[in-house]
Structure 1
Amino acid sequence: MSLRRKLLLVALCTLALPVAGWLYVRQMETLLREGQVQALTASARALARSLLVSGAALPAGGEGWYVQRAETPITVDGYGDDWAPLTPWSQPLGTHAKLLLAEDADGFYLYAQVRAVRRVRADAGDANALQADHLVLSLERDGQRRRYLLASAAPGPFAARVLDPPAAGFPDSLSGQWQEDGSGYRVELRLPREAAFDRLGVGVHDGGAADADPLGVDSRPLWRYSAALAQELSLLAPDGTRARLLAPPGWVLARSGRLAGTGADGAQPGWFAALVYRSLLARRLEDAQPWTDDAPRLDLPEIARARAGEPAAVWRAGETRGSVVLAVAAPVGPPDELHGVLLLEQASRTVPLLANRALLGLLLTSFGVLLVAGLILLAFATRLSMRLGRLRDAAERAQQADGRLDGLFAKGRFPMSEAPDELGDLARSFERLFEAVGGYTDYLRTLASKLSHELNTPLAIVKSSLDNLEHALASRDALPAEARPYLDRARDGVARLGTLVRAMSEASRMERAIAAAEAEDVDLREVVRGCAEAYRPLAGARRLECALPEAPLTLHCAPELVAQALDKLFDNALSFTPPDGWLRLSLRARDGGAEIELANQGPPLPAAMQGRLFDSLVSLRDKATPGDAPHLGLGLYVVRLVAERHGGAAAARNLEDGGGVAFILFLRGLPRQRLA
């Protein structure tokens, strides 16, 4: 990973700032919520106590039958189609029946649905009516009651049998509709509006149950929505809240007010702000559907907690965009004398607006700081990368392949060696290193010429001493025959040492000659073609091929150096090519320069020697026999010097089929000299 990317990664760590701010805003939003919960809970408690002391007509404790308001006309036919809107809030009656009660301007309606797989049928007037499937209806008021037996032997209209003496305010007869199907039977009837009763008892009896009381009823007070209680709530409830008084099981007895969803400044957040609040800031919100204002009964966990005597609060989604609603349920009365549950709701956009604004300001500030920090780090990383690149380029240019320096220090000190920071220390270390390497390289480069100069005199003394020794012994006839081979070996060793000394001197002169060669624009095709024609007589029976490009290949170079390098390559290839083998010389353009390849048939290169072929005094030829001139391995070294002088390189590789070797000379050209 590059330095700039690493610093960019470090800059991204500043993202912890907006994350910490986001957590802070969430905590702030939680604190605002808790403050509102405490305030609304106190209001609910105060309102519940006010209802108790004001003498409002609160429901008594225990169970009751809730009478719903019939919004659509109900036809008494024994079928439940008219009751469909009210069916979700049916009340259990016994273990296998449901009861629905409703009223409108025309009267009071009762609809009972009983599940019974096995039926015992009889009419209400039959003697065995109490042993058949039947319902008992009890109307009660001020300690008086009147009971009615509801039974029918067949589907259709029925007439109830009165079980008690006449009483004022109670009807003398009842009629209704009885319908049956495979799952059981349904009873529907209407009581006249004039019937005055405040308690209702209903009993469902199975004709097959002999141990049950055939006249038993479940008598409960009637609960219904009260306009008087609603008026009382509207006078006591705080502004901007919706209050609902519930019976202990959750039936709505009164409601007042409505949810006011505007914020402190009347602003309304957009859909994006609402989405941000719901997704990033708001704690879990309950669904708004169970809290609908149209439901006659609310069955919620908060109401169950309030029935146990403990106020409960919950945050839910509001009905309008971007709003939240706080609902508090408080008990009305102590748990042992519970009269109901007070539900107080307050809609608020203030909390979302404040949280959104705080988050937006924090994000803008954080991302601004992040952007500035990122730009600063990017600029710093770019400058640092450029300075490191200068050091790298200077280090790569400072030393050539043969260890010589390219005159970098002749123009001044190493780049950035004057800098006072750590890069300056590194540059100064490079400078000292290259100075030491340059001095050692100069010493090694001149060592050959120094050795050749210093060894010439000792070698001449040894050679003359051997000559004088041989002449003195021969003149006296004192040279033993067995000493002659030792004397010849000494002469041969001195000759070999002389050859090595001369070769080292020639190598030094050759380096200077290559460095001083003058360049010109030359068509390399003519140079390679001329060399190939000169090599054909030397190849003998060997086959020599020459492949040249059709278009001219002009290069600014020293043609005599190129020819000299080709001579060395050809001499090397010829020594390894069998007498009936082949050689192939080719020229082609490559990468803004030229590539000359000389391939020959012969043994492959050893893997251990491929990287050292072009070094000085390295040879793969067989060791010379005594008396022969030694092979010094300077030919390929000259090829490398010529290639580097032309800005290229020399390389060698084995052919793909393993039948030979190819030597490649890549030339870019000599730099053109500018006229002052």
Structure 2
Amino acid sequence: MTLRQKLLLVALCTLALPIAGWTYVRQMETLLRDGQAQALLASADVVARSLVVTGAVSPVTGPTWYVQPMPGPITVDGYGDDWAPLTPWSQPFARRGKLLLAEDDDWLYLYADVSDIQRTRADADDANALAADHLILTLENAAGRRRYLLASAAPGGLVARPLDPAVDGLPDLITAQWQEDGSGYRVELRLPRALSLRALGLGAYDAAYGGDRMAADTRALVDYSDKLSGELARLVPDRVQARVLSSQGWLLARSGRLNSAAGADGQPGWFASLVYRSLLATRLEDANLWSQDVPRLDTTEFAEARAGRSVSVWRSGEERGSVVLSATVPIKRAGRVDGVLLLEQASRSVPLLANRALFGLLLTSLGVLLAAGAILLVFATRLSLRLGRLRNAAERAQLGDGRLDGLFAQGRFPMTDAADEIGDLARSFERLFEVVGGYTDYLRTLASKLSHELNTPLAIVKSSLDNLEHAALPPEAQPYLARARDGVARLGALVRAMSESSRMERSITAAEPEDVDLREVVRGCADAYRALIGKRRLDCVLPDAPLSLHCAPELIAQALDKLLDNALSFTPEQGWLRLSLRASADGAEIELANQGPLLPEAMQGRLFDSLVSLRDKATPGDAPHLGLGLYVVRLVAERHGGVASARNLDDGSGVAFTLQLRGMSRLRLGG
């Protein structure tokens, strides 16, 4: 991973800032909602206590029948068309019956639907009417209770037969409508509200199953109370909707409406609403469970309040971008729950404030993230460029033989004036290369110094040996004298070779370039070499077109002489050599390949160093070999801006030495 990628990874760590901010905003939104919930629960508890003190909620024990209000009269015909809006809230009775009760200003309406596929028919006046399928209707007022038999042998109108003696205030005659089909029968009737009924009972007898023929489920009647609604309106706070529910969840009173209109702060857009619901308010209940128009609620919160526990819940509002806080508290009297009070308050301020805080945080975090990323990117880019300059300078500073590059020799190492750690590293490199350069210069001049210092002792030893030859020496001393003279000759050859090497480096540096056709230089060398290689075969491969290069032709010929001398040492008597010239992208390449042993892998990179040789050690009397030939080849290649290299041939038949030349620089005269 590059330095720039690492710094980019560090920049991504700043993403922790918006995440931490989002967590903070969410916690603040939760605290804000909890505060509002506690306040609304306190208000609901106060209102519930006031309803108990004023006695506005009548205590009801046991099950009840709920009478739903109707805006207009119902046609009593035995069909359920007028009852369709109320059907979802029908109340079960008997074994398979459903009961609906409704009222308007004058009448109390009753609609009973009984499932019965095996019918036993009889009219109410028949003697065996109680043995047939029938309904038992019970009416109760302050004076007493009276039962009625409803039965019919055919669809149409019927008259209920009283089963009990007359009771003041209760009718002697009740008319009803009976309709039936294959699934069962339906009975519809109406009673005057002037009867002031306290309870109503209804039972269904199925002759196919038997049972108690006179059984009826009698319950107290409860309905929506305008009086309780008015009392509730005086107690609840402003902009709060209140509902009083019976212990079974039926609506007894209601006041106020949810204020979901857009306030002064405006209305959140669809995107802001989506962000709030997705990222902040993740605990919103479904609004359909708390509909304002249903006569009965059956939610988890209502069940907890009915069990005596106060609870609050946030739910989605009916309008976009709104939320509703609902608080349910029990209405207790003497330890008994008589009903449940539900307070609801719509709010747009919570989503608006939370969204504004979140969007502000996101914008700030995005700006900080972009700024930090840009700064780190600029810093990483600058740091990468500086390190690249340092690397390039270090690679250029030292050539293959330890000599320093000309650019570094003329000036200081780059970025040594910087005050940071990279400046310290550059100064360390500069000191290192100064030490290496000084030691390399010492090694390069050591040969010439040694040759100069050794000349005088060698002359003394040689003159002494010459004097010994004229002296009378015993015969047994003659071999030692010959060995001494041979050693002096070898030392003299070494000194001359070292001197020659120093002079050769100076001559290579001082060579004057010119524009020449390399084909003629290589062809001339090849023609001259054929007379020197004996029985060996020499092939010369040249390009068809002239290959011009600004170079020193005598140096190139000298390098080829060294390469040929080296190749002849390893090429068999019947072997082959191949001298080739070809153009390259930035100059020319000269290659001399020969048949012979392959190069060791460990020596391929060191062949062109000074005093390195693969030839066998010289025997006594032979001229010493110092390994300076290929070193001269490298110097010639570097003088021409190129490199010298050696490799084994792909087919394993021998080796190839290559000179890559780019040409010498042209001198420009100043105006």
Same fold (TM over 0.5): yes
Following superposition, the deviation at residue 349 of structure 1 comes to 1.2
Cα RMSD between the aligned structures? 3.5
Structure 1 residue 350 displacement after superposition: 0.8
1:59, 1:247 within 8 Å by CA — same for their partners in 2?
Answer: no
Find out whether 1:557 has 2:551 as its counterpart: yes
Whether the 8 Å contact between 1:124 and 1:160 is mirrored in structure 2 is: no
SS where residue 339 of structure 1 aligns? strand
1:187 is aligned, of 185, 188, 209, to: 185
Distance 1:227 1:343 in 2: 17
Report what 2:9 is aligned to.
9
Pairs within 5 Å for 1:16-415:
16-56=16-56, 58=58, 60-68=60-68, 86-93=86-93, 98-102=98-102, 108-114=109-115, 121=120, 123=122, 135-142=135-142, 144-149=144-149, 162-167=162-167, 168-170=169-171, 171-181=173-183, 186-194=184-192, 196=195, 197-205=197-205, 213-262=212-261, 265-334=264-333, 336-407=335-406, 411-415=410-414
How far the C-alpha of 1:315 sits from its partner, in A, is 0.9
CA distance in 1, matches of 2:79, 2:468: 149
1:440-479 equivalence runs, <5 A: 440-472=439-471, 478-479=474-475
Q: Deviations over 1:106-165 (max 9, x none)?
A: 862423354x79x58454657666566654332333353333445678999887654334
1:595 pairs with one of 589, 593, 600 = 589
Paired amino acid for 1:479: P
Look up the equivalent residue of 1:91 and give its one-letter code.
Q
Quote the Cα distance in structure 1 between the aligned partners of 2:574 and 2:134. 127
Change (3 A) 1:541 1:45: same
Report the Cα distance in structure 2 between the residues aligned to 1:543 and 1:73, rounded to whole angstroms: 129
Select between 266-275 and 229-238 the one with higher mean Cα deviation: 229-238
For the 8 Å contact 2:110–2:189, the answer to whether it is kept is yes
Deviation at residue 607 of structure 1 after TM alignment:
1.5
Q: 1:439 to 1:51 in 2, by over 3 A?
A: same
Task: Summarize deviations over 1:588-638 as a string: whole Å, max 9, x none.
Answer: 444433333333333222112122111112222333333332333222212
Partner Cα separation in structure 1 for residue 557 and residue 354 of structure 2:
84
Counterpart amino acid of 1:637? Y
SS in structure 1 at match of 2:214: coil
| Structure 1 residues 539 and 160: CA distance shift in structure 2, 3 A | farther
Q: Please give the secondary structure, in 1, of the residue aligned with 2:36.
A: helix
Code of the residue aligned with 1:614 in structure 2: it is F
> Does the C-alpha gap of structure 1 residues 348 and 457 become closer, same or farther in structure 2, counting only changes over 3 Å?
same
Partner of 2:562: 568
> How many Å apart are 1:446 and its aligned residue?
0.9
More divergent stretch after superposition (70-79 vs 497-506): 70-79
Name the amino acid aligned to 1:137: L
Residue type of the partner of 2:190? Answer: P
Asked if structure 2 preserves the Cα contact closer than 8 Å seen for 1:65 and 1:220, the reply is: yes
CA 1:73–1:142: 2 relative to 1, 3 Å: closer
**Structure 2 residues without counterparts, runs of 5 or longer:** none
Distance 1:164 1:417, change over 3 A: same
Residue-by-residue CA offset, 1:167-196 (whole Å, 9 max, x unaligned): 544443444223444xxxx33211125364
Distance 2:512 2:160 in 1: 135
In 2, the alpha carbon distance for the partners of 1:674 and 1:306 equals 103
Q: Contact 2:157–2:175 (CA<8 Å) still a contact in 1? A: no
Instruction: Quote the Cα distance in structure 1 between the aligned partners of 2:276 and 2:446.
Output: 82
Q: Using the alignment, how far apart are the partners of 1:487 and 1:149 within structure 2? A: 161
Work out the CA distance in 1 between the residues paired with 2:257 and 2:511: 103
Q: CA 1:363–1:554 in 2, change beyond 3 Å: closer, same or farther? A: farther
Task: Answer yes or no: is the 8 Å Cα contact 2:41–2:329 preserved in 1.
Answer: yes
Q: Report the CA distance between 1:326 and its aligned residue.
A: 0.9
How far apart are 1:444 and its partner, in Å?
0.9
Query: Which consecutive unaligned segments of at least 5 residues does structure 1 have?
Result: none
CA deviations over 1:369-417 (Å, ceiling 9, x no partner) = 3444444444444444444334333333322221122355654443343
Could you report, residue by residue, the CA deviation over 1:532-567 in whole angstroms, capped at 9, with x for unpaired residues? 444444455544444444555443333332332233
After TM superposition, give the deviation of residue 53 of structure 1 in Å.
3.9
> Using a 3 Å threshold, how does the CA distance of structure 1 residues 57 and 439 change in structure 2: closer, same or farther?
closer
Q: How far apart in 1 are the matches of 2:512 and 2:175? A: 138
1:662 offset after TM fit, Å? 2.6
Distance 1:137 1:368 in 2: 77
- In structure 2, relative to structure 1, the CA distance for the partners of 1:339 and 1:639 (3 Å cut) is same
Distance 1:308 1:351 in 2: 30
What TM-score does the superposition give when structure 2 sets the normalisation length?
0.87
Check conservation: 2:122, 2:133, Cα contact below 8 A: no
Q: Which amino acid aligns with 1:56?
A: A
1:355 offset after TM fit, Å?
1.8
Residues 76 and 190, structure 2, Cα contact 8 Å, conserved in 1: no
CA contact (8 A) 1:309 1:334 kept: no
Distance in 2 between residues matched to 1:546 and 1:660, nearest whole Å: 17
Measure, in 1, the Cα distance between the counterparts of 2:449 and 2:596: 38
- Tell me if the contact between 1:617 and 1:632 (Cα under 8 Å) persists in the aligned partners: yes
Question: Between the two proteins, what is the percent identity of the paired residues?
Answer: 69
Q: Which moved more, 1:519-528 or 1:634-643?
A: 519-528
User: Which amino acid is 2:65 matched to?
Assistant: W
| Mean Cα deviation higher: 324-333 or 21-30 | 21-30
Cα distance, 1:36 vs structure 2: 1.3
**For residues 591 and 498 of structure 1, what CA distance do their matches in structure 2 show?**
46
TM-score (structure 1 length as normaliser): 0.86
Q: Partners in 2 of 1:505 and 1:153 — Cα distance? A: 145
Residue type of the alignment partner of 2:424: D
Match of 1:660 in 2: 654
Q: Distance in 1 between matches of 2:60 and 2:627?
A: 121
Amino acid at match of 2:253: A
The 5-angstrom pairing of residues 642-661 of structure 1 reads: 642-661=636-655
Q: Give the whole-Å Cα distance in 1 for the aligned partners of 2:632 and 2:503.
A: 12
1:623 to 617, 623, 642: 617
Per the alignment, do residues 279 and 120 of structure 1 end up closer, same or farther by CA in structure 2, a change over 3 Å counting? closer
Cα drift, residue 297 of structure 1: 1.9
Counterpart amino acid of 2:199?
R
Q: Deviations over 1:492-514 (max 9, x none)?
A: 44333332222222222222222
